Structure 1
C-alpha cells in the first residue's frame, strides 16, 4: 500500500529547497534500486586501452549499424542474474563493487581517478526520466497541500517560493542527437549484450518538471536525469549532475546537443498521470524512495547529508550524534566530508574530492557556489 499522505489540515513544513529535494531523490533512485546490486562495470570507451575501443568499428557495426556515429561512446556492464538482487546501500559490498574495476593497475587508476562518476551518472540516468518524474510526484503527494518549494536561480539574490501545485510535467520528443551514447548490458556469460541508447532509432522521449511562478517570465525546469545525454549536456552550471534552470536555458542547452525538440504532453504533476512510460521500477519502490527522502528532510537537523550526492551522516556513521564523516565512496569517487546542520548556524566545508576528477569542472567552484552563505547547501537563511 502507498504511504499515508499528510493530513491536509496539518501545517506545512518549512519550504523545501528544490536543490535539496533533487539531491535526496536522485540519491534514492541511484543507490537503492535493487536492479543495480549485481551489476559491475566491464569495459568502457573512456579507456585508451579498452577492448571496446580496439574492436570499436566491428562492435558498432554489429550493434548499431552506424560505425561512424559522431562522438560515440559505450559503457559495457556485466550483470550476474544468478545472484538475487537486493537493495544496495553505500556500505554494502554489492554497491561498493559497482564500479570496482579489474585488478589491472592502469585500468583502476584511469577509471577511479577520472571518469567513474560520469559513467555512474550516465548509466543510472539513462531512460529514467519517467521514473524521476514519478518519484518527484510521489514525494509531493506526501506533503500538505500548502507545502512550498524554494529556489534561487543563478545570478539572482532573490529566494523564490512556489506552491507544489504549480509543478507540471512535460514530455518532449527529442530528435537528432549529436552524440551517441550506448550501454551494453551483458547478463551472466551471454556473449551478446542487450543494447540501450540515449536516443533509440534517432529519437527519444524525455520528461522534465516545469514550475511556473509570477516572478519569472520564463518557467523553471527540473531535469533530474539530464546526465543520460552525457557529461557535457547533462551537468548544471556548477557541475552538479542535474539541471535546475530557466526553461529558456534548458532549451538552449538541449538544442546544442540535439536537432529539435517537440513538446507532446503537458499537465499538472499532482492532478494528472505522468506519461505512461516505465523502466520497470515497481511502484512500491517509488513510494519507498519518496518516503525515505521526506524522512531525511524532516530529520535534517539531526542527520544531514552531502549537498552533492545526498549521502546521509547516518548512512556512513551509524549514529546521528557523530558529526564527522571519514572517507567514503559514492559512484567510486573518494570524498572527505565534514557534515553540517542544514538549518541554523554556519555551514562548514561540505566536501572535497580527492584525486584528479576532471569531470566535475572545478571542485572549488562547485563547493563555493553550492554552499556559500547557505544553511541548506542551496539557499541563504532568511
Structure 2
C-alpha cells in the first residue's frame, strides 16, 4: 500500500499549467461556502498523483486513463493508494481514506512512443481567466461548443518532477485540458467531475471543440467529449453542483428558542459540525448557552469568521480533532475536565460513542452523519 499526499502548492501549480482556475480549488473563502469547507484538489491532479504509483516501465507507456471519483480530495491529507494489475495487463489504482473509496483509476498500457508533441493551439482566443457558469438546462444533446485553448511542452514538467511521476508529459497535458473543460467551460464554476477518460493519441485531429453527449437535468449531470489535435481525446461526466445559501446561526438560534428545551449549560457533540450547515447549527447551540464539541479531521476545526461573530458564545465552541468513522477514536470520551462537562457527562458521552464503535464500519459512517442527543452535565 502506497501513500498519496497532495501539498497545497500543487493546486496552484496545476491550475497555472492547465488553465483550470476554478475558485473551488484556489479560493479559500469560496470553498468554505461551497459545503466542502476547504479547497478541493482538482480531479485530474488527483489522477496524476495516483499515476505516480505506477512502476517506471508502466508509467512510460500509459495510453488510456479512466477515473471515477467517489469523494472529494483535500490537500495536506494523506491517502492510501492500492496498485493492482489485471490479467489483461491493465492496472487499477484505488485511492482511499480510512478504508473509504475516494477514486478509482483504470490504466491501459500500450505503445506511446514517438517524438514530444509540440505546442497545440485551438480556437481563436485565449484561455478563460474567469470560469463560465452554464446550467445543464442551457445545454442540449448534440450541442457543439467552440473552445480556445493552448498546451505547450514543459507546462507540467515541474509538477511531474515534484510528484515523482514517470508518465509522458502529453498524458498530463491531456488531463490538464480535461480539467480546464470541466472547471472553466462546461458547466464551469459549479462543476464537479464524476468521471473522466483521456486517451493519448498523437494522430488525433479536431478543432478543440466539445460535443455534448447527454444532459440529465434531474441529476444536473452533463456528459461531453472532444479531441485535442496531436494529443488525444477526452470524455467527461460532470455534475453541476448547487451552492447552498449560507446558513445563519442567529436565525437557527432563534428557531431553537421556540423549542421546549433549556440548552443553558448543556453539552452537545456534533460530527460533521466543522463546516456548512453543521457549523451554523453548532454556533446556534452555543448562542443558546450550550457547550458544543465539534469533531474535525481537517483544519480549521471551525470556521474562524463564524466564530468571530458569536461574541462571548465563541468560548462555548470547542473543536476536537477526531475521525468519527474510526472506531478507536470514536470510543474516546470527552475528558471530564472539559468545559461544561462533568464525569457523568463523560460517561454518557462515552456510552454514545461506544455504541458507534461497536457497530460495523457501515454503521459508523451512518453514525457520522447524525447528531447525538444533548446531555445536561448533571445527569
Q: TM-score of the superposition, structure 1-length normalised?
A: 0.24
Question: Which has the higher relative contact order, 1 or 2, with Cα contacts under 8 A spaced 6 or more apart?
Answer: 1
CA radius of gyration, larger in: 2
Q: TM-score of the superposition, structure 2-length normalised?
A: 0.24
